[in-house]
Amino acid sequence: MAVRPTDLRRLVQRGLRSVSSRALEAFALVFEPHRATPADLLVRRAVATSIDRVTLSTVLLQRQAEPAAALLPSWLSGYAPMFQSTPASASSRTAIAALPLDERRLTLRVDAADPVAQAIAERVAVDAREAGITIKVQAPVGLAPRPDVRLVRVAFDATTPDRVLAAIMAALGSRATALATTEPAPAIGAPLDTVYRVERALVERDIIVPIVHLPVLYGLGERVESWNGPAVSPIGAWNLANVWLRSASLPDKPDRPDRPDRPDRPDRQ
């Protein structure tokens, strides 16, 4: 069964095991047009640099996530470590404190049906408060006031960097990507340096702010076993040829003799 990273501790307490794929989902903040202006760059950057991605990944998401400063995970692009979020300087914190209160307040919209997104949003709000930014998390089920920023969750297939970045850009929407950069999505077969250039342009003005990458996570019942390889492949698919179901009546480590006991019999003449 598919499980949420935030539920992993309860899964373990029930005696179940977990298996996961490589990182195949990305969470990112996307600022709305009215907060994507050059005048709001200071606020956006303060939010982006305030997020403690390591703690979010290891504590809230129970070591089932990877901190992300890039949209593509490192296993796919290889260049993700080149995207680093530097901590805010003392001068930038002073500049934030000098802004009017209205400019330091943001409404963050999340999917009301996504508990993981809501948990991440609440953590982002806590971190932003330390930087002088007040974030109100909004999870509407109907009409609601216009948000300033959205938390988006994008799943992608394990293909190639050019295809995945193009798919992520399509999922984010043309309005968001056009606000971030004039660069078009990479063409199919585009070289890696082109993919890097487009991705760098997407995130450099903090209109799109990557937060974490997540794998596909499954919980296994106590009777589910695998042969020599993992039950789930790196691309998130079940490796059914490698999975078997132990009989409910079969103990974990059967202690049976190699042959049934037989009464002693004299040797035949």
Identify the CA nearest to 145 among candidates 101, 105, 97. 105
Using CB atoms within 10 Å of the CB of residue 24, give its burial: 0 to 12 exposed, 13 to 18 middle, 19+ buried.
buried
**Closest to 71 (Cα-Cα) out of 191, 170, 218, 187:** 170
The per-residue pLDDT for 256 is: 42
Q: Give CATH superfamily name and number for 5-218.
A: Dipeptide-binding Protein; Domain 3 (3.10.105.10)
Q: Is residue 3 pLDDT above 70, yes or no?
A: no
Higher pLDDT, 256 or 191: 191
Angle between helices 115-130 and 41-50 (to 10 degrees): 110
User: Residue 197 CB: number of other CB atoms within 10 A?
Assistant: 15
Q: Taking 70 as the threshold, does the pLDDT of residue 191 lie above it?
A: yes
Residue 166 burial by CB count (10 A; 0-12/13-18/19+): exposed, middle or buried? buried
Rounded CA-CA distance 208/27 in Å is: 10
Burial of 227 (0-12, 13-18, 19+ CB in 10 A): exposed
Sign (positive or negative) of CA dihedral 35, 37, 39, 44 = positive
Tell me which residue of 204, 205, 169 sits closest to 186, measured CA to CA: 169
CB 68 within 8 A of CB 75: no
pLDDT reading at 149 higher than 90: yes
Instruction: Check pLDDT > 80 for residue 193.
Output: yes
pLDDT tens digits for 96-134? Answer: 999 999 999 999 999 999 999 999 999 999 999 999 999
Q: Beta strands 134-138 and 149-155: pairing type?
A: unpaired
- Mean pLDDT to the nearest integer, 169-188: 96
Is residue 223 pLDDT above 50, yes or no? yes
- Start-to-end CA distance of the chain, whole Å, equals 63
Task: Provide the pLDDT for residue 141.
Answer: 84
Q: Is the pLDDT of residue 86 over 60?
A: yes
Task: Give CA separation, 167 vs 25, 29, 111, 199, in Å.
Answer: 12, 17, 20, 12
Question: Which of 160, 209, 155 shows the shortest CA–CA distance to 186?
Answer: 160
pLDDT for the residue numbered 260: 47
16-66 pLDDT per residue, tens: 777 767 899 999 999 999 999 999 999 999 999 999 999 999 999 988 899
**Global pTM value:** 0.81
Q: How confident is the model at residue 4 (pLDDT cuts 50, 70, 90)?
A: confident
Question: What pLDDT shows up at residue 143?
Answer: 83
Tokens encoding 60: 């809230």
Note the pLDDT of residue 269. 42
More confident residue, 136 or 221: 136
Q: What is the mean pLDDT of residues 175-184?
A: 96
**If you average pLDDT over residues 156-172, what whole number do you get?**
96
The pLDDT of residue 31 is 98
Nearest Cα neighbor of 236 from 18, 7, 23 is: 23
**pLDDT > 70 in the chain, percent:** 77
